[in-house]
Chains A and B, each alone.
Chain A
Amino acid sequence: MKPLDRKLLRDLNHIRGQVIAIAAVIAVGVLLQVMMSGLVTSLTETRRAYYERNRLANVFASLTRAPDSQLAILAEIPGVARVEGRVRGAALVNLPDEAVPIQARATSLEERGEQLLNQVYLTEGRMPGQASRDEILLLAGFAAAHDIAPGDTLNVTMNGARRTLRITGLAQSPELLYAAAPGQMVPDPARFAVIWMQRTSLAAAYDMSGAFNEVLFALGRGASEPEVIDRIDSVLDRWGGTGAYGRDDLVSDRFVQEEIAGLETMARSVPPLFLAVAAFLLYIVVSRIVQSEREEIGLLKAFGYTNGEVGSHYFKMVLIVATAGAAVGCILGILSGRAMIPVYTKFYNFPFLVFRPDPTSFVIGVGASIAAASAGGLFVLRRVFALDPAEAMRPPAPADYSRTVTFDGPVGRMLDQPSRMILRGVARRPWRVAALIAGVAGGMALSAGMTTIYGSFDTMQDLSFTVIDRSDATVVFNTPLSEKAALELARVPGVLRVEPTRDVSAILRNGLKTQRGAVSGMIADTELSRAIDKDLRPIPLPERGIVLSQSLADILEIEPGEMLTIEVREGRRPVLEVPVVRVARSLIGTPAYMQLDALNREMKEPLRITSARLMVDPARADEIYATLSDMPTVAGVTVAEDLQASLQRLMDEGAGSARYIMGVVAFVITFGIVYNAARIAQTELNRDLASLRVMGFSKGEAAFVLLGELGLIMLVAVPLGSVLGYGLSILIAKGFSSEIYQIPTGFDPWSHGFAASFTLAAAMVSGWLVKRDLDRTALIDVLKSRE
Chain B
Amino acid sequence: MTIAFTAKGLTKTYGEGRSAVHALRGVDLEIPQGEIVVMLGASGSGKSTLLNILGGLDHASTGTVHFRDICLTDLDDSGLTRYRREHVGFVFQFYNLMPSLTARENVELVTEIADNPMRPEEALELVGLKERVDHFPSQLSGGEQQRVAIARAIAKQPEVLFCDEPTGALDSATGRAVLRVLNEVNQRLGATVLMVTHAANIAGMAHKVIRLADGQIREVEQNETRLSPEEVVW
Interface residues of A (CB under 8 A from B): 395, 397-402, 404, 416-418, 420-421, 424-425, 428, 687-688, 690-699, 701, 779-780, 783-787
Contact = CB atoms under 8 A, between A and B. Distances in A.
Given A401-B100, A428-B100, A691-B98, A696 B84 contact: yes
Contacts of A400: 99, 136, 138-139
Contacts of A399: 99-100, 138
Given A398-B136, A402-B136, A417 B96 contact: no
B154 interface: no
Given A401-B138, A421-B98, 15 more contacts: A402-B138, A417-B105, A418-B109, A688-B98, A688-B100, A690-B96, A691-B98, A692-B109, A693-B81, A695-B109, A699-B81, A780-B48, A783-B92, A783-B94, A784-B93
A694 B109 CA distance: 12
16 contacts: A397-B138, A398-B138, A399-B99, A399-B138, A400-B99, A400-B136, A402-B135, A402-B138, A404-B100, A416-B112, A421-B98, A421-B100, A697-B85, A699-B77, A780-B48, A784-B48
A418 B101 CA distance: 9
Given A395-B169, A398-B137, A687 B96 contact: yes
Interface of B: 48, 52, 57-58, 77-78, 81-86, 90, 92-94, 96-101, 105-106, 108-110, 112-113, 135-139, 145, 152, 164, 169
B96 A398 contact: no
Contacts of B82: 696
A304 to B, nearest CB: 27
Contacts of B139: 400, 402
Contacts of B152: 695
Contacts of A787: 94
A691 B94 CA distance: 11
Contact of A398 (B52, B57, B85, B99): B99
A779 B51 CA distance: 13
Contacts of A694: 57, 84, 90, 96
Contacts of B98: 417, 421, 688, 691
A786 B145 CA distance: 14
Q: Which of B83, B90, B96, B136 has the most CB of A within 10 A?
A: B96
A780 B80 CA distance: 14
Contacts of A401: 99-101, 136, 138
B84 A695 contact: yes
A414 B199 CA distance: 44
A780 B58 contact: yes
Contacts of B137: 398
Contacts of A395: 94, 169
A204 B2 CA distance: 122
Contacts of A424: 100-101
Contacts of B97: 398, 691
B194 to A, nearest CB: 14
Nearest to A702: B81
A695 B57 contact: no
Nearest to B82: A696
Given A417-B108, A417-B112, A421-B100, A696 B85 contact: yes
Contacts of A688: 98-100
Contacts of B145: 398
Contact of A780 (B57, B99, B105, B138): B57
Contacts of A697: 81, 85, 113
